[in-house]
Amino acid sequence: MRQGNNHCLHPATKRAASWVLTLLAGLCLYAPHSLRAASPTTPKIPGAPAKELSQELQKKISQTTKKSTAAPNKITKIKIKGLTAMSEEQALDLLGNRIDYVQNHRPSPSRADDAAFLLERILRNQGLPEAEVDWTIPKKKNRIVLTVTQGPSRHLGEVIVSGIDQALQKQLVTYFKKQSIGFNLLSKGKIPYIPSLVEEAVDSAIIYLHSEGYWNAEVKLTKTTVLADQGLVNLHITVHTGPLYRLAPSELLGPSPIDLSLLRQQLSAYLELPANTKNIKAARKTTLSYFLDQGYAFTEIQMDKLLVGQHMRLIFIITAGNRYQIGKINIVGLERTDPQRLHRRIDKGSGPLYNPELIEAHRRKFMSTGAFSSFLIETQPRTDGTIDMTLRIQEGQARSVSSHLGIGSYEGGIFGLSYRDQNFRGKLQTLSLSGEFSGLGLLGQASINDPMLFGTDLNATLRAFLLSHDLEGYSKVEAGLGAELLWTINHHYSLRFYGSAITTQTSSDGLPDSELGYTDYSVGRVGFSQRLDFRDSPVNPHKGFYGELLTEIGTVTGGSAIPYFKTELRTSYRQPIREADFLVITGRAGLNFNSNQSDYPIDLRFFLGGPDSVRSFPEREMGPSVNGDPVGGEAYWIASLEYNYKIKGPVYMNVFADAGSLARDTDGFQTADVNYASGLGFWLDLPIGPVRAEYGYNLNRRKGEPAGTFHFTIGINF
């Protein structure tokens, strides 16, 4: 029994006070003097005495915790005895200004009890689950003495999960080994053993298994093993997943103003899929989108679930609401932007009926231009069946000047300077001017991009460029104009149309003139590519298929016209292995047919080697060569197998094997020499893409070929 614990509160009042303290102490448990950080609350550990905050402190604690500095004069001094796990100063620092109210008033039993309660709670959350604190008030002294019965320190050891497969085990363990919020003085990288947090982890594990489709799953803490000599507590968790439920045909209830046969057909795509959260949400979204597409903008859907055998039946109770025609569109906040650009997009992309999903898609499209910092949409339904919209917009800083520095194993040092206007002429177009100097030479280019051509989803770009590069065996000066039209049909499939006119001059820098083909020529070309992309990320994918087929025709004009036809196929597939590792399989092939191989310009041929090719060769240096300089070819293929292993955090290691062949002409496609490489690399998984450092070893080295090559680059290997 704690000394001086003589409150005369009604039991209900005491319970309420205890609840308030639990909330407040949880919010500020680990905060230092001038900063408060949220902390999970820890309910009373079995066997510990019940303690409550005084009503007096309840009224003042919120005020004192907001103060950044304590009162200049402390009336009451807090003295702590019996604590060996940390110093008195450290304990007081952990208490922070939560005891300012106690220190700024004369000692009393209620204030002493509050201070003891707070210290005990902090110690238990520091890994001392059996800590108890008593208090005394010495006579004739403005002092409260807190006496600690510390008990042994306890931290979380092993979490042993049985009854489920390894993948699910790893996920469940993360719930138990989650660090509590705040600073733990005693932990030294370990996780304090807090029984209440273990109970929360059990509940979280059950919720997770439900979300994966195991709706009868049970998770129990069956045993705790205390390793007293190590200060660790091992947890033994037993899991009974029960059956994996699958989706049965959905049931649609409520009066419907439209035919639902097509909706039922769409929902049939989810039959027999696991009844997990992802698929349930997708089925609900499909149902809602069906009504929104028909103009029932304010449709409400209530969902219930019925377990039948090992299946789950989703029951959707639908209230369709009214249909609205789009009425007036008021735009507020524009200064530079032409409002017709917004009107055109909404008018062309929305249709006459109001659909909030489409309107939200337009809003995201406008924000993606970079011209706006804020874009809010307000709606006002009218009794005449129309709905007015107000677009409240804040324009951003669309113009910017930037520079960049870099280095690559092929380009050498890189320095660039660029100017961008993401709202050129107020038309939501992007004007880009850039210049770059590298070990290859100079490159300057200008482009204008319209991401919403004529208010549609067509993305159009006009580009002009001028470059001067020194390559292996020859140099070139080139200028050109080009146009590109990108049509994204859906999330996975897109088409690209392009055309360009280019003028080029080449000169020998080691290669015989006869190997250069035309040295002063122009090229007119048009091309078409199809892209199928199921990757989880276009920048740094870890999963999914990608494929692209390119077809191009053109004419080279030098001494005489040389028509040509080129096609390339690129594919890759990424398959996750275990939790974070993944396997990559890539393949590429290309053919270039022309009517005059001897005069066909060297710069229009294929070149292999480099970090995205057979990695035992430097960039462009694999295949046919003359006097040690590559001359390229007109037919090639590449295949690669790569395993990526996560070391820690963003650091990965990859082991790869590459093979490829480059033929001087298409007739030799099947008989050209094949090159093999294997290697090892490390890369960082960054938001800009992987930063890769790799070494490829030449497995069948021929005379004049390198033994291997080191590559440093940014970006994925296709």
DSSP for 453-519 reads GGGSSEEEEEEEEEEEEEETEEEEEEEEEEEEEEEE-SSSEEEEEEEEEEEEEEEEEBS-GGGT--S
What pLDDT score was predicted for residue 22? 41
| Cα separation of the two ends of the chain | 71
Domain count, the chain: 5
Alpha-carbon gap, residue 606 to 10, rounded angstroms: 88
Pair (140, 169) in one structural domain = no
Average pLDDT over residues 359-379: 93
Q: Which two tokens stand for residue 648?
A: 């820690």
Last residue of a domain, one of 304, 319, 334: 319
Alpha-carbon gap, residue 221 to 194, rounded angstroms: 14
Which residues fall within 8 angstroms of residue 676, CB to CB, at 6 or more apart?
614, 616, 657, 658, 659, 698, 699, 700
Task: Examine residue 274 and state whether it is found in any structural domain, yes or no.
Answer: yes
Q: Distances in Å between the alpha carbon of 600 and those of 200, 511, 608, 621?
A: 71, 15, 18, 19
Chain-centroid distance of CA 711 in Å reads 27
Pair (198, 258) in one structural domain = no
Alpha-carbon gap, residue 608 to 522, rounded angstroms: 24
**Would strands 311-319 and 246-247 be described as parallel, antiparallel, or unpaired?**
parallel
Last residue of a domain, one of 192, 209, 240: 240
Task: Examine residue 427 and state whether it is found in any structural domain, yes or no.
Answer: no
- In this structure, the number of other CB atoms found within 10 A of the CB of residue 564 comes to 20
Which residue from 144, 139, 152 is spatially nearest to 116, judged by alpha carbons? Answer: 144
Pair (291, 218) in one structural domain = no
**Under 8 Å between Cβ of 445 and 481:** no
Task: Examine residue 695 and state whether it is found in any structural domain, yes or no.
Answer: yes
- What amino acid occupies position 535? R
What pLDDT score was predicted for residue 189? 64
Pair (560, 708) in one structural domain = yes
Alpha-carbon gap, residue 349 to 411, rounded angstroms: 43
**Under 8 Å between Cβ of 284 and 250:** no
**Under 8 Å between Cβ of 658 and 674:** no
Band of residue 188 on the pLDDT scale cut at 50, 70, 90: low
User: Which residue bears the tokens 């893409």?
Assistant: 689
Cross-strand partners of 547: 532, 571
Pair (68, 90) in one structural domain = yes
Band of residue 122 on the pLDDT scale cut at 50, 70, 90: confident
Higher-pLDDT residue of 650 and 53 is: 650
Task: Output DSSP code: residue 190.
Answer: P
What pLDDT score was predicted for residue 538? 87
Pair (366, 304) in one structural domain = no
Task: Examine residue 346 and state whether it is found in any structural domain, yes or no.
Answer: yes
Q: Which segment of 227-231, 585-589, 681-685, 706-710 scores lowest on mean pLDDT?
A: 227-231
What pLDDT score was predicted for residue 242? 92
Band of residue 85 on the pLDDT scale cut at 50, 70, 90: confident
Task: Examine residue 455 and state whether it is found in any structural domain, yes or no.
Answer: no
Which residue from 558, 568, 579, 535 is spatially nearest to 689, judged by alpha carbons? Answer: 535
Q: How large is the angle between the packed helices 11-28 and 55-64, nearest 10 degrees?
A: 20
Average pLDDT over residues 198-221: 93
Pair (341, 288) in one structural domain = no
| 3 state DSSP class of 700 | coil
Q: How large is the angle between the packed helices 277-293 and 356-368, nearest 10 degrees?
A: 100
Higher-pLDDT residue of 22 and 281 is: 281
Task: Output DSSP code: residue 248.
Answer: P
Cross-strand partners of 313: 306
Identify the H or E element spanning 409.
none
**Under 8 Å between Cβ of 81 and 146:** yes
Position 18 pLDDT exceeds 80: no
Average pLDDT over residues 680-698: 92
Q: Is 351 left (phi over 0), alpha (psi -120 to 50) or beta?
A: left
Chain-centroid distance of CA 598 in Å reads 50
List pLDDT tens digits, range 556-599.
Answer: 999 889 999 999 999 999 999 877 899 999 999 999 999 898 99
Task: Examine residue 425 and state whether it is found in any structural domain, yes or no.
Answer: no
For residue 301, what is the domain's CATH number? 3.10.20.310
What pLDDT score was predicted for residue 42? 35
Alpha-carbon gap, residue 148 to 135, rounded angstroms: 9
Position 67 pLDDT exceeds 50: no
Which residues fall within 8 angstroms of residue 396, CB to CB, at 6 or more apart?
370, 371, 372, 373
Position 668 pLDDT exceeds 70: yes
Give the chain's mean pLDDT.
86
What pLDDT score was predicted for residue 94? 81
Alpha-carbon gap, residue 420 to 403, rounded angstroms: 11
Range of the domain at 330: 325-395
Cross-strand partners of 640: 586, 658
Average pLDDT over residues 641-650: 93
Position 53 pLDDT exceeds 70: no
Position 222 pLDDT exceeds 50: yes
- In this structure, the number of other CB atoms found within 10 A of the CB of residue 260 comes to 15
Pair (124, 206) in one structural domain = no
Pair (113, 171) in one structural domain = no
Position 47 pLDDT exceeds 50: no
Band of residue 21 on the pLDDT scale cut at 50, 70, 90: very low
Q: Which two tokens stand for residue 341?
A: 């650009």
**Would strands 458-471 and 473-488 be described as parallel, antiparallel, or unpaired?**
antiparallel
Q: Which two tokens stand for residue 256?
A: 């419907």
Q: What long-range pairs does 563-569 form, CB within 8 A, spacing at least 24?
A: 563/594, 563/595, 564/592, 564/593, 564/594, 564/595, 564/600, 564/604, 565/592, 565/593, 565/594, 566/590, 566/591, 566/592, 566/593, 567/591
Identify the H or E element spanning 117.
helix 109-125
Last residue of a domain, one of 206, 223, 240: 240
Average pLDDT over residues 25-38: 36
Band of residue 2 on the pLDDT scale cut at 50, 70, 90: very low
Q: Which two tokens stand for residue 70?
A: 């304590």
Alpha-carbon gap, residue 718 to 660, rounded angstroms: 15
Band of residue 696 on the pLDDT scale cut at 50, 70, 90: very high
What pLDDT score was predicted for residue 168? 85
Task: Examine residue 492 and state whether it is found in any structural domain, yes or no.
Answer: yes
Cross-strand partners of 136: 145
Q: Which two tokens stand for residue 203?
A: 């509940």
List pLDDT tens digits, range 130-179.
Answer: 889 999 998 877 889 999 998 888 888 899 999 888 878 888 988 888 76
Which residue from 718, 716, 686, 690 is spatially nearest to 546, judged by alpha carbons? Answer: 718
Higher-pLDDT residue of 427 and 87 is: 427
Identify the H or E element spanning 6.
none
For residue 518, what is the domain's CATH number? 2.40.160.50
Q: Distances in Å between the alpha carbon of 610 and those of 411, 459, 619, 696?
A: 11, 31, 4, 10
**Under 8 Å between Cβ of 614 and 528:** no
Pair (373, 492) in one structural domain = no
- Report the greatest alpha carbon distance in the chain: 112
Pair (183, 254) in one structural domain = no
Higher-pLDDT residue of 85 and 431 is: 431
What pLDDT score was predicted for residue 603? 94
**Under 8 Å between Cβ of 387 and 297:** yes
Q: Which segment of 61-65, 231-235, 442-446, 469-473 scores lowest on mean pLDDT?
A: 61-65
- The Cβ-side half-sphere exposure at 2, using a 13 Å CA radius, reads 29
What pLDDT score was predicted for residue 184? 54
Which residues fall within 8 angstroms of residue 229, CB to CB, at 6 or more apart?
none
Pair (259, 390) in one structural domain = no
Q: Which two tokens stand for residue 484?
A: 């590109």
Task: Examine residue 431 and state whether it is found in any structural domain, yes or no.
Answer: no
What pLDDT score was predicted for residue 27? 38
Q: Which two tokens stand for residue 184?
A: 């733990």
Band of residue 718 on the pLDDT scale cut at 50, 70, 90: low
- What amino acid occupies position 402? S
Percent over 70 (pLDDT), the chain: 88
- The Cβ-side half-sphere exposure at 237, using a 13 Å CA radius, reads 31
Higher-pLDDT residue of 689 and 566 is: 566
